[in-house]
Structure 1
Amino acid sequence: MARIQRKVPAASRRQSSSPQVEGAVRTRRKVPLKHLVRFTRMLATLTEAGLPILRNLRVLADQWPPGKFQDAVTDTADLVEEGQPLSDALAQNPDVFDDLYVNMARAGEAGGVLD
């Protein structure tokens, strides 16, 4: 059987493997993704159990090892305690919670899933 060869223009080969799309959400995360995934799963589990968001944030902050991520969760809890919506509080730590994460929280608040 004959193989089909595709010729790729040289200009295409020189472009990065992940070109920037205009208007795309950029991540500025300065903490490991595994921390964010673990935090999200634990927060979801506690929230599904019917516990208040503020209490969940405090519990998770206390369980996290000291560092940038714990500081961000503590800061988020403080802002929620002051009356800010969760999404606005998360947005105050863009190095940890990127635009996508904040907007997902905002959608949950708008839909009544996160109160």
Structure 2
Amino acid sequence: MIGSSEKHLSRIYDALKLRLRSQPLIHGDETTVQVLKEMDRAAASTSYMWAYRSGQDSDEPIVLLDYQPGRGQIHPQAFLGHYHGIVMSDGYSAWRTLEGATHIGCMAHSRRASSMP
């Protein structure tokens, strides 16, 4: 049952991901997630949930979460691929490694000197 659900839901997720990448603006953020028992990882190790959201004015509001074991730049690069729109995020440097995308900082983090591109 779970395998069948994953098969069908992953198709929907992949379709939403393609639609999200066609948006002119994507918000991105990452946050820690503690997993107690995960194969090949120490108990209570820290992982990350990467969140991607279409712009507030989008005709197609999309929010997708991407669970990853780390916080490296490879994760937004792999998720967004060759995205050439605008990425709004905090000051974390991994977001600015997206080739072809324009990075802008969010107002919530504008008081941090390191958050501006």
Q: TM-score, normalised by structure 2?
A: 0.28
For CA contacts below 8 A with separation 6 or more, give which structure has more relative contact order.
Answer: 1
Instruction: Name the structure where strand makes up a greater proportion of residues.
Output: 2
Instruction: Name the structure where helix makes up a greater proportion of residues.
Output: 1
Query: Which of the two has higher C-alpha Rg?
Result: 1
